[in-house]
């Protein structure tokens, strides 16, 4: 395997990063806990559409902060010397942020244009939101795994 310097940037996780991420994750979870039950069924969504439009706007803003925090603290930027493959994973996950943000921005905008007397428009929008949800949750799981793998590496699990 070649020792490409681009792939060997260091990955570090510090206490400030973990604190801010924890606060942000708590706010994000609260928001998602409000949105998911309302978006689960077309009829429920239709009955609460104006609330949902507002919540999708909040979710867009929260995710802007969420992604910015992850990137600002540089946990993607510094390599784990002993585990360059983690840096490659980090690069890949970081690369997903612009696409995920563009999707939620689009959904937040589009939600205000949906005609709620059109069952088809509502259903199509909810399907699109659920696809976003699946993709975002997969991204989050992969990030959590990356953090745990990096900590394992730092702590030398097996002590």
Tally of residues, the chain: 159
| Part in contact with Fe ion (CB under 5 A); list of ranges 26-34, 47-55, 70-78, 125-133 | 70-78
Nearer to Fe ion, 49 or 75 (CB): 75
Q: How far is the CB of 99 from Fe ion (least distance, A)?
A: 11
| CA distances for 128 relative to 31, 51, 104, angstroms | 18, 18, 10
Size of the site for Fe ion (CB under 5 A): 2
Q: Looking at residues 9 to 38 of the shown chain, list those that interact with Fe ion (rule: CB under 5 A).
A: none
Three-class SS of 76-113: CCCECCCCHHHHHHHHHHHCCHHHHHHHHHHHHHHHCC
Nearer to Fe ion, 24 or 70 (CB): 70
| Part in contact with Fe ion (CB under 5 A); list of ranges 7-15, 24-32, 63-71, 118-126 | 63-71
Q: Looking at residues 92 to 151 of the shown chain, list those that interact with Fe ion (rule: CB under 5 A).
A: 143
Cα–Cα distance for residue pair 66/128, rounded to 1 Å: 21
- Give strand pairing partners of 152: none
Binding residues (CB under 5 A) for Fe ion: these are: 70, 143
């Amino acid at each position: 395997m070649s020792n490409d310097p681009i792939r060997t940037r260091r990955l570090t996780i510090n206490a400030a990063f973990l604190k801010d991420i924890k606060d942000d994750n708590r706010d994000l979870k609260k928001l998602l806990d409000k949105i998911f039950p309302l978006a689960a069924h077309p009829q429920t969504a239709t009955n609460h559409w104006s609330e949902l439009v507002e919540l999708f706007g909040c979710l867009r803003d929260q995710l802007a902060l969420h992604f910015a925090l992850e990137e600002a603290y540089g946990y993607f930027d510094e390599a784990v010397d002993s585990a360059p493959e983690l840096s490659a994973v980090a690069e890949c996950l970081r690369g997903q942020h612009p696409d995920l943000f563009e999707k939620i921005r689009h959904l937040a905008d589009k939600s205000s244009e949906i005609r709620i007397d059109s069952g088809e428009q509502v259903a199509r929008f909810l399907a699109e939101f659920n696809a976003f949800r699946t993709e975002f949750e997969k991204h989050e799981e992969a990030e959590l795994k990356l953090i745990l793998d990096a900590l394992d590496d730092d702590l030398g699990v097996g002590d």
